Amino acid sequence: MSAPSHAAHQAPKSFIWKYVFSLDHKVIGIQYYLLGLFSVLVGMSLSLLMRFHMVNPTASLAWIGKLWPTAAAGGVMTPELYLSLMTMHGTIMVFFVLTTVPQGGFGNYFLPIQIGAEDMAFPVLNMMSFWTTFLALVVMISAFFVQGGAPLAGWTGYPPLSGAGPLTGPGEGAGQTLWIISIAIFCGASLMGAINFIATTVDLRCKGMTLMRMPLTCWTWLVTAILGLLGFAVLLAAGVLLILDRHAGTSFFLPGGMMINDHIIANHKGGSPLLWQHLFWFFGHPEVYIAILPGMGVTSQLLATFARKPVFGYKAMVYAILSIGFLGFLVWGHHMFMSGMNPYSAMAFATLTMCIGVPSAIKTFNWIGTLWGGQIHFTTAMLFALGFVSLFVTGGVSGIFLGQPALDLYFHDTYFVVGHFHMIMGVAAIFGMFAGTFFWFPKMFGKMLNETLGKIHFYCTFIGVYCIFTPMHLVGIAGNPRRYADFTNVEYLAKLIPVHQFMTYAAYFTASVQVIFLINLVWSWIKGPKAPANPWNCTTLEWSVPSPPPHDNFGGVHPVVYHGAYEYSVPGAAEDFIMQNDPTPLPSGD
């Protein structure tokens, strides 16, 4: 009698156990992906409403009046409604898209296959993790439908606004409470996921799969899981304190002597809003890397595959991932330069922030090194990976500006910051997801995506996002404040209105070309040509099994790994790639 294997579960027969409460990491990965796809559509719709309102603040739209009878009475959006759209856009995008799809979606599906395991280490925990995330999303969306509507405090939930109750604004009653509860549930789900990812990577690698032979995607999923583990635990603790401030009359974050909307708040005393900021950003900065690291892994994998070259400096890439993860925990203060912190603390945080530029530059250098002299195949997946590198550099360079306390004091509450974080955390990460989708769709669904539609979608999206977010830097430098619902009547900003109109049209354009992507997904899934086992001639283990893989991934065979992850164009080899599980020794003899 031996310990029951982690993957001892049989392939389920009934619909509900096969597709709903499935224990199979592949089904759970697709569930996460679909949850993210739904969320990104919701989040994008909210951003379109915001962009519309910014350039047409007085326009009346009947259907908006129907959707929000009080917050948009007569079809004209109130500033409070604008703030609640902003809050929900940020929250849904950061938590339910950027955090779930790259890790919960692709990570769940491909981590076990890439390391040669039959499933995640704890399949039941994996299933619970998804359904807990689903519950968190339901609670978050329900904030739209309670009295007062969705909260206004932004995705960062700063107190006192988020802590002082309904007096502070229409969404600050039940809506804000639901927001905190949803985030707390999400923290629990992420912790469950992180435990699974770490245990799987550490303990379930197949024979021969040493750490330094893992595909870089697995490294980024591992480090992302570690960041999530340490970060979400802190956010959960902070959320507990915040909800007690709201409902139990404590004063962790709420100071005394507040005067809100002509009411004196007498029942709070001595709390510190800055304490929340420290706890939040201790989670919040690693969260940025949670969003972007898996995209870096996918990009490395794709650049090597489609340039037919090994990743340049594999070990340096691994150490860069690790140091980005480590340094990510030491720089939260750079989100708080405006909070009146001691200039010496600011200097320390700024110096550490600059240090992150080093591993980031190593990664960019190595990506270019990987491309150098390669036989580049411009597939749609490759285009999105190249787009990722482009956006990462553009968004990263503006981060160097914001990392300087002296410059940040000016930039912080302007559109410069909005442009910066959308470039690097939003769009770059989304490009990572697109790249992953075009690369792995054949494996996940057994059908090839349409390359022509894919390329049209790529070029339109690539141009579109640059048209939206580059001008944001410029209006930011011109002093355009962010979070304002309406600045058409502000004299010094009047000249910037045409730029805002341009950005709004660019946003409409970019959003509408996403229809091409959705059509491509659905049409290819139904009618696309059948995918072979290894359409890209890629080396990693997921391409050694049929598309889609069988329930236990390897059809009862235990894979053995003989090579590193990126043996492309090995001199003297029969083909220009050597699979990781190919037992023939390398021609060079090592």
Partner 1 sequence: MSASLTQDIVHGPTPPADTGWGGGDDDGGAGRGSGRAASFTGLFVLLAASTMAFAAFTSAFVVRRGLSEMDDWTGVHYPPILFLNTAILLASSLVLDISRRALKAGERGKFNFWWTAATALGILFLAGQAAAWYQLKEAGIFVSSNPASSFFYVLTAAHAFHLIGGVVALVYVDVQALRLRLGPAKRTAIDVTAIFWHFLDGLWLFLMILFYVWG
Q: Which is nearer to partner 1, 244 or 499 (CB)?
A: 244
Q: Which of 31, 100, 380, 581 binds partner 1 (CB under 8 A)?
A: 581
- How many residues interact with partner 1 (rule CB under 8 A)? 81
Q: Which is nearer to partner 1, 62 or 264 (CB)?
A: 264
Q: Which is nearer to partner 1, 84 or 114 (CB)?
A: 114
279 lies in the binding site for partner 1 (CB under 8 A): yes
Non-local CB neighbours of 34 within 8 Å, separated by 6+ positions: none
Q: What letter would DSSP give residue 259?
A: E
Q: Which of 17, 21, 52, 122 binds partner 1 (CB under 8 A)?
A: 122
In whole angstroms, how close is the CB of 181 to partner 1 at the nearest point?
Answer: 16
Q: Which is nearer to partner 1, 196 or 366 (CB)?
A: 196
Q: Which of 124, 378, 575, 587 binds partner 1 (CB under 8 A)?
A: 575
Q: Which of 49, 402, 545, 565 binds partner 1 (CB under 8 A)?
A: 545
Q: Which of 144, 130, 138, 34 has its CA nearest to residue 89? A: 144
Region 206-265 residues binding partner 1, contact defined as CB under 8 A? 206-213, 229-230, 232-234, 236-238, 240-241, 244, 248-252, 256
Q: Which of 118, 172, 408, 567 binds partner 1 (CB under 8 A)?
A: 118
Stretch of 302-310, 375-383, 517-525, 551-559 lying at the interface with partner 1 (CB under 8 A): 551-559
Q: Which of 66, 263, 269, 495 binds partner 1 (CB under 8 A)?
A: 269
Q: Which is nearer to partner 1, 571 or 589 (CB)?
A: 589
Q: Which is nearer to partner 1, 116 or 396 (CB)?
A: 116
342 lies in the binding site for partner 1 (CB under 8 A): no
Site string for partner 1, 58-97 (x = CB under 8 A): ----------------------------------------
**Three-class SS state of 130:** helix
Q: How far is CA 106 from CA 109, 165, 220, 297, 380, in A?
A: 5, 39, 12, 11, 18
Non-local CB neighbours of 393 within 8 Å, separated by 6+ positions: 364
Token look-up 């917050």 returns 71
- Could you give the CA distance from residue 389 to residue 368 in angstroms, rounded to a whole number? 9
In whole angstroms, how close is the CB of 158 to partner 1 at the nearest point?
Answer: 16
156 lies in the binding site for partner 1 (CB under 8 A): no
Q: How far is CA 542 from CA 26, 261, 342, 426, 441, in A?
A: 12, 59, 51, 28, 12
Q: Which is nearer to partner 1, 196 or 379 (CB)?
A: 196
In whole angstroms, how close is the CB of 7 to partner 1 at the nearest point?
Answer: 6
Q: How far is CA 573 from CA 241, 298, 353, 563, 583, in A?
A: 61, 26, 44, 13, 13
Q: Which is nearer to partner 1, 249 or 587 (CB)?
A: 249
Q: Which is nearer to partner 1, 555 or 587 (CB)?
A: 555
Q: Which is nearer to partner 1, 272 or 569 (CB)?
A: 272
**CA dihedral sign of residues 357, 439, 587, 117:** positive
Query: For residues 503 and 415, is the Cβ–Cβ distance under 8 A?
Result: no
In whole angstroms, how close is the CB of 111 to partner 1 at the nearest point?
Answer: 12
Q: Which of 287, 408, 542, 582 binds partner 1 (CB under 8 A)?
A: 582
Region 175-204 residues binding partner 1, contact defined as CB under 8 A? 191, 194-196, 198-200, 202-204
Q: Which two tokens stand for residue 369?
A: 């090194």
Region 524-543 residues binding partner 1, contact defined as CB under 8 A? 533-534, 537, 543
Q: Which of 510, 496, 513 has its CA nearest to residue 55? A: 496
- Could you give the CA distance from residue 241 to residue 252 in angstroms, rounded to a whole number? 7
Region 1-60 residues binding partner 1, contact defined as CB under 8 A? 1-7
Q: Which two tokens stand for residue 81?
A: 């409604």
Q: Which is nearer to partner 1, 48 or 199 (CB)?
A: 199
Q: How far is CA 479 from CA 47, 279, 422, 487, in A?
A: 21, 29, 18, 12
- What is the distance between the terminal CA atoms of the chain, rounded to a whole angstrom? 41
Q: Which of 28, 578, 588 has its CA nearest to residue 305? A: 578
Q: Which is nearer to partner 1, 80 or 119 (CB)?
A: 119
- Could you give the CA distance from residue 257 to residue 164 in angstroms, rounded to a whole number? 12
Q: Which of 89, 205, 334, 420 binds partner 1 (CB under 8 A)?
A: 205
Q: What letter would DSSP give residue 412?
A: T
Stretch of 12-20, 113-121, 347-355, 411-419 lying at the interface with partner 1 (CB under 8 A): 113-121
Say how many C-beta atoms besides its own lie within 10 A of residue 575's C-beta: 11
304 lies in the binding site for partner 1 (CB under 8 A): no
**CA dihedral sign of residues 351, 356, 359, 365:** negative
Q: Which is nearer to partner 1, 291 or 579 (CB)?
A: 579
Stretch of 21-29, 145-153, 439-447, 582-590 lying at the interface with partner 1 (CB under 8 A): 582-590
- Could you give the CA distance from residue 576 to residue 590 in angstroms, rounded to a whole number? 17
557 lies in the binding site for partner 1 (CB under 8 A): yes
Largest CA distance in the chain: 80
Q: Which is nearer to partner 1, 230 or 400 (CB)?
A: 230
Region 418-447 residues binding partner 1, contact defined as CB under 8 A? none
Stretch of 63-71, 153-161, 269-277, 415-423 lying at the interface with partner 1 (CB under 8 A): 269-277
In whole angstroms, how close is the CB of 446 to partner 1 at the nearest point?
Answer: 14
Q: Which of 12, 48, 78, 278 binds partner 1 (CB under 8 A)?
A: 278
In whole angstroms, how close is the CB of 575 to partner 1 at the nearest point?
Answer: 7
CB-neighbour burial class of residue 74 (10 A; exposed 0-12, middle 13-18, buried 19+): exposed
- Could you give the CA distance from residue 466 to residue 241 in angstroms, rounded to a whole number? 40
Non-local CB neighbours of 420 within 8 Å, separated by 6+ positions: 395, 398, 399, 401, 402, 473
Q: Which of 74, 373, 529, 583 binds partner 1 (CB under 8 A)?
A: 583
Q: Which is nearer to partner 1, 195 or 352 (CB)?
A: 195
- Could you give the CA distance from residue 438 to residue 317 in angstroms, rounded to a whole number? 23
